[in-house]
Amino acid sequence: MPVVRFQLTEVATGALRANIMLGPRDEEVLINVKGATLLNATAIEALQVRIDGRRFQFPALASGLMTIELPDAESSPPPPPAVPPNSPAAAKVKKKR
């Protein structure tokens, strides 16, 4: 992972919530924001973002210097419920792999 500089800016207020440089051995960073947020990063492909515990999927062609809008966690639909490991739905998922 390269050294990555990123900024988080709240869309509604314009408040800068983070301006951080991360290296390969740095700890995970936890940042609290309200509402939709803009993520501007120098190497977006090297970052992982979790919103309320679930991973945010970047667009397929996201790489290099980019700005991506992260959704508002309170107005976004919740993630689908976890599938119990012994259910018929879990067996279907295993067969597809």
Domain count, the chain: 1
Q: In terms of DSSP H, where are the helices of 1-97?
A: 88-96
- Give the pLDDT confidence of 6-61 residue by residue, as tens digits: 998 999 889 898 899 998 888 888 888 888 899 999 988 888 888 877 788 888 88
CB atoms within 10 A of CB 41: 23
Q: What is the mean pLDDT of residues 61-70?
A: 86
pLDDT value of position 32: 81
Domain residue limits at 49: 4-96
Please give the C-alpha separations between residue 77 and each of 56, 65, 72, 81, in angstroms, as whole numbers.
Answer: 13, 28, 10, 12
